[in-house]
Amino acid sequence: MDKMKLDACGKINLMLNISGVREDGYHTLETVMQTVSLHDVVEVRRRAQKGIALRCNLPYIPTDGRNIAWKAADCFIERTGFDGGVEIDIRKTIPVGGGMAGGSTDAAAVLRGLNEMCGCPMNEKALEEAALTLGADVPFCLKRGTYLCEGIGEIMTRLPDLPRCFIVVCKPRASVSSRSAYGVYDAWPSPRHIDAGQMIAGLQAKDLRAVAAAVGNSFEDPIGAECPEIPAIRQRLLEMGALNAAMTGSGSVVFGLFDDAGRAHKAKAALRASRYRTFCVRPVRR
């Protein structure tokens, strides 16, 4: 096999709680991550010339060693002794700087694609170990479904599937970098605790309304204070029938959970009319 094309799915954080700070300065999390159908398309190909060549449909995305997908290919080559070159084409749809793991999922797709293309020299554990060296979200992005992720994201526990629903995701005009988000959070005087147990109980009961009641994000108050579009979009989603709404990851995308397709698509249309990048997506199961 000389090439593979993969759908690199994004994620939302149904809940996210910052649980502490390690001695090395990394924040620890409790978060329930959910794969969604919004995806980039990543194609990986062998080439005779050694080295890595990367192209992307967005001109402002770096295509050299600063790109996490490029780093994923380099990591695979180093760990497997792959003899040859790699070409990567990325067609991005997941909003950049939105907290939906757009870069991480592209990196995961490169790792998985190269591994399958080369006859699986790395088992699942080795892939996850390689993924963790690239970023905290990359191990989750190798999987699909609903997971509790703890530590810095590397401790993953599979959870029951999110009940059938419709998810409207909306990207404010502002983007947020994870590094700056942690700084803003650390300066916030009254951080909010989000209960992972309540979310897990809702998933175990297969009760969408209980899941929606448990939605929340420790980052949302401080980041929302810096970016007023975030609480404004959340309020609009609630007014248009979302069971609940919250920011995902470290921002800035806001999502709403809907139990009715008609209301979800009307919300998408209304937010698009306000010139926000908005999608109606579905949860992806493993």
Q: What is the CATH number of the domain that holds 191?
A: 3.30.70.890
253 and 132 together in one domain: no
Paired with 151 in beta bridges are: 29
Of the residues 101, 132, 158, the one at which a domain ends = 158
- CATH number, residue 106: 3.30.230.10
Q: What is the pLDDT of residues 118-134, one digit of tens each?
A: 999 999 999 999 999 99
Give kind and range of the element (H or E) at residue 200.
helix 196-204
Asked if the model's pLDDT at residue 102 lies above 90, the reply is yes
Cα–Cα dist 74/6, whole Å: 18
What pLDDT shows up at residue 22? Answer: 85
Q: Work out how many domains the chain is built from and give that number.
A: 2
The pTM of the full predicted model, rounded to 2 decimals, is 0.95
pLDDT of 152 reads 85
Calculate mean pLDDT across residues 104-110: 98
Predicted pLDDT at 154: 85
Beta bridge partners of 111: none
Give CA–CA dist 41/52, Å, rounded.
18
Q: Which of 78, 71, 147, 132 is nearest to 107 (CA)?
A: 71
Which residues form the domain of 228? 166-281
Domain assignment present for residue 120? The answer is: yes
- Answer yes or no: do 128 and 191 share one domain: no
Q: Residue length, the chain?
A: 286
**Co-location of 8 and 144 in the same domain:** yes
Q: Is 236 helix (H, G, I), strand (E, B) or coil?
A: helix
Element (H, E) at 125: helix 124-134
Contact call for residues 83 and 77 (beta carbons, < 8 A) = no
Q: Provide the pLDDT for residue 197.
A: 97
CA atoms of 275 and 284, how far apart (whole Å): 27
Is 145 found in the same domain as 175?
Answer: no
pLDDT, averaged across the chain: 96
Cα distance between residue 180 and residue 186, in whole Å:
10
Q: How many CA atoms lie within 13 A of 24 on its CB side?
A: 4
Is residue 110 helix, strand or coil?
helix
Distance CA 16, CA 181 (A): 13
Please check whether residue 234 lies inside any domain of the structure: yes
Q: Kindly state whether residues 125 and 205 are assigned to the same domain.
A: no
What pLDDT does residue 24 have?
84
CA 165 to chain centre: 18
pLDDT of 148 over the 90 cut: yes
Tell me whether residue 240 is in a domain: yes
**For this structure, is 92 an active site residue?**
no
Considering the domain boundaries, does residue 97 fall inside one? yes
The dihedral built from the CA positions of residue 136, 142, 145 and 148, taken in this order, carries a sign that is negative
Q: For residue 286, is it within any domain? A: no
Q: Say yes or no: 45 and 64 in one domain.
A: yes
Is 171 among the catalytic positions?
no
- Cβ density class 106-128: b for 16+ within 10 Å, e for less: bbbbbbbbbbebbeeebeeeebb
Q: What is the pLDDT of residue 1?
A: 77
pLDDT number for residue 56: 98
* Same domain? 79 vs 149: yes
Rounded average pLDDT over 222-232: 97
Structure tokens at 26: 């990394």
* The one catalytic residue among 137, 171, 221, 268: 137
| Residue 222 burial by Cβ neighbours in a 10 Å radius (0-12, 13-18, 19+) | buried
Same domain, 142 and 17: yes
pLDDT band at 245 (very low <50, low <70, confident <90, very high): very high
pLDDT in tens, 16-37: 999 988 888 788 999 999 999 9
Strands 146-151 and 27-47 come out as antiparallel
- For residues 208 and 132, membership in a common domain is answered with no
Q: What is the pLDDT of residues 189-219, one digit of tens each?
A: 998 999 999 999 999 999 999 999 999 999 9
In a domain, 253, yes or no: yes
Per-residue pLDDT, 243: 98
* pLDDT above 90 for 286: no
Q: Is 67 helix (H, G, I), strand (E, B) or coil?
A: coil
User: pLDDT tens-digit profile of 25-79?
Assistant: 788 999 999 999 999 999 999 998 999 999 999 999 999 999 999 999 999 999 9
Answer with the residue of higher pLDDT: 23 or 172: 172
Q: State the pLDDT at residue 178.
A: 84
Bond preceding residue 180 cis, omega within 30 of 0: no
Tell me: do 194 and 86 sit in the same domain. no
